[in-house]
Amino acid sequence: MTTLLVARHGETDWNREGRWQGWADPPLNDTGREQARRLAEELRSTDFDAVYSSDLRRALETAEILAAPHGAPVVADAGLREIDVGSWSGLTRAEIEERFPDGKRPDGETHEQHGARVRAAVIRIAGEHLGERILLVTHGGTIRSIHDVISDLPYHPVPNCHVLEVHFRDDRLTAPIG
């Protein structure tokens, strides 16, 4: 069995302002860097065999902070990116409702496209590290896509710098038992 520790990146100013980020690349703010340092301390005694991150700056910066106490290199993987929200990028919910009253994005990825991309990336990474413990640093929407694969339960958004544990066994992603 492979264990995946899936962490959401630290806070950005856009998180704080309620702006959709998608593939935009805002950096962590001071709060986000402090969140990452606190999580790094929590994970200090947790061994992992590899660290992967979305290639977007907010996730990479978080991953580098988390990996530093372990001396582990961070592998950037575009498959772990957030959903591409296209024209919604940088907008608040109110701005989206004003500009796109039908609630539909004219561009970017669909949830199905994002889910397929994320699932393929996570299964590929897990398959390359059978029997190991891997840290993945990614985004809220990406974590939701992983959750949708492992559970029929309603999704509750994961706060910045929180971790979800996922198992890979028999070519399937599953939630831990118990």
**Does residue 9 carry a catalytic annotation?**
yes
Is 99 annotated to bind ligand?
A: no
Task: Residue 175: count other Cβ atoms within 10 Å of its Cβ.
Answer: 15
Is 14 annotated to bind ligand?
A: yes
Q: Residue 86, class by beta-carbon neighbours within 10 Å (0-12 exposed, 13-18 middle, 19+ buried)? A: middle
Is 23 annotated to bind ligand?
A: no
Is 10 annotated to bind ligand?
A: yes
- Whole-angstrom CA distances from 65 to 3, 36, 172 are 20, 6, 29
Is 131 annotated to bind ligand?
A: no
Is 12 annotated to bind ligand?
A: yes
Determine the Cα angle at 110 with ends 106 and 113, to 5°.
Answer: 140
**Does residue 111 carry a catalytic annotation?**
no
Among the listed residues 9, 114, 139, 147, the single catalytic one is 9
Among the listed residues 34, 41, 82, 167, the single catalytic one is 82
Tokens of 92: 């608040």
Is 58 annotated to bind ligand?
A: yes
Q: Residue 66, class by beta-carbon neighbours within 10 Å (0-12 exposed, 13-18 middle, 19+ buried)? A: buried
Positions marked active-site: 9, 82
Residue list, annotated binding site for substrate: 8-15, 58
Residue list, annotated binding site: 8-15, 58
